[in-house]
Structure 1
Amino acid sequence: MLPLTPATLRACFVNASKKERSDAWLPDLDALDWDALDLLGWRDAKLGRRSYVVVPTDGGGGAPVGVLLRQAEASPRSRTQCAWCADVRLPNPVVMVGARLAGPAGRAGGTVGTLVCEDFQCSANVRTDPPLPYEGFDVARARAERVDALRTRAAGFVRAVTTR
């Protein structure tokens, strides 16, 4: 993922009002390892149930698209799987988040939801080596496929927010 500035981050949200953009709490962008990120997600330190995700378009080199998310009041009752990284081995909490749709559909109350890792550690999860199912298993290829799948799933969620 290409490094982003605070101004770029605030401008890329497709489903947030001007006030929500200006009030957004931003992470320390200088402390991020941009090369290890397929998406940038963070929780708002001021508003506990609000979070944000920014997904680059065109496989990582295109313009970023940001989505404001709200965590559901209820938590899943059992161990659930993140819809983006599909990690089942690491004990990361997974939460249900919803996003108001962009444009007129969102102003009319339309939303879309998904299950994601609570602290958006998906990029790290897909880079964790999978277990070796057999001798000669290509770990590097499996890791690359998991990274591609994460990018595809996250971009699909952003598409669902922007095209309804």
Structure 2
Amino acid sequence: MKALNEVDIRRSIVNASKGEIERMPLPGLHEVLWADREYLGWRDHGAPLRGYLVHWVENRPVGIVLRAAGTSMRPGISAMCSLCRTPQPSDQVALFSAARAGQSGRDGNTVGTYICADLACSLIIRIMPPASPMQPDPAKVVVQRAEGLLTRLQNFTADIMKTV
């Protein structure tokens, strides 16, 4: 992923008002290892149900504001993130919704999906699987996971930006 700065991030948000964007807290950008990410994702510590994702679509960053569901899945079951497709305990996956961009979002239309609760899919996909006779090159697995994650994220973002 190409590096982003505060101005890039704030300008990239497609589904929030100017006031919401101005009040949006940012993560510590100086700590981000950009080469190890497909997107930048973070939760708002001041509003725990709010999250943000920013990624590059062609040559411009596109950001979305997310809202986590106020309830969680039943404890003790497995859940799968729709972006990284990693099965995890249910408390580590959350249903997030995002207002659609433009008038449609202002009218209350949203898109939702299950995503890693900490929005750290880029880190999770980089956990190397053990080499095996069926998959002798774990690095190839990580590359395939990254490509799939980006494709699913771009589809989710495209759905949010669609005018209904």
* Residue number in structure 1 paired with 2:144: 145
> CA 1:22/1:140 → structure 2, altered by over 3 Å: closer, same or farther?
same
* Residue number in structure 2 paired with 1:81: 80
Find runs of 4+ consecutive structure 1 residues off by over 3 angstroms: 89-92
Task: Give the C-alpha shift of residue 108 in structure 1.
Answer: 1.3
* Residue number in structure 2 paired with 1:55: 55
Query: TM-score w.r.t. structure 1 length?
Result: 0.91
- CA-to-aligned-CA distance 1:76-119 (integer Å, 9 cap, x gap): 22321000111126897000110000012111110000111111
- CA-to-aligned-CA distance 1:40-85 (integer Å, 9 cap, x gap): 0000111111110002113xxx211000001111112232100011
SS at match of 2:41: strand
> CA 1:136/1:33 → structure 2, altered by over 3 Å: closer, same or farther?
closer
Where do 5+ consecutive residues of structure 2 fail to align? none
Query: TM-score w.r.t. structure 2 length?
Result: 0.91
* Residue number in structure 1 paired with 2:62: 65
Answer whether contact 2:95 2:114 (CA < 8 A) is retained: yes
1:155 aligns with 2:154: yes
Aligned partners of 2:41, 2:135: CA distance in 1, in Å?
35
Where do 5+ consecutive residues of structure 1 fail to align? none
* Residue number in structure 1 paired with 2:26: 26
Aligned partners of 1:15, 1:106: CA distance in 2, in Å?
7
Aligned partners of 2:91, 2:18: CA distance in 1, in Å?
32
Answer whether contact 1:69 1:98 (CA < 8 A) is retained: yes
Aligned partners of 2:54, 2:151: CA distance in 1, in Å?
13
Match runs of 1:111-122 below 5 Å: 111-122=110-121
Deviates more, 1:13-22 or 1:49-58: 49-58
The amino acid of 1:11's aligned partner reads: R
Q: CA RMSD in A?
A: 1.7
Task: Give the C-alpha shift of residue 137 in structure 1.
Answer: 2.5
Task: Give the C-alpha shift of residue 18 in structure 1.
Answer: 0.5
1:134 aligns with 2:133: yes
* Residue number in structure 1 paired with 2:96: 97
1:17 aligns with 2:14: no
Identity of aligned residues (%): 35
The amino acid of 1:106's aligned partner reads: G
Aligned residues: 161
Aligned partners of 1:56, 1:3: CA distance in 2, in Å?
10
Answer whether contact 1:54 1:67 (CA < 8 A) is retained: yes
SS at match of 1:97: strand
Aligned partners of 2:3, 2:121: CA distance in 1, in Å?
18
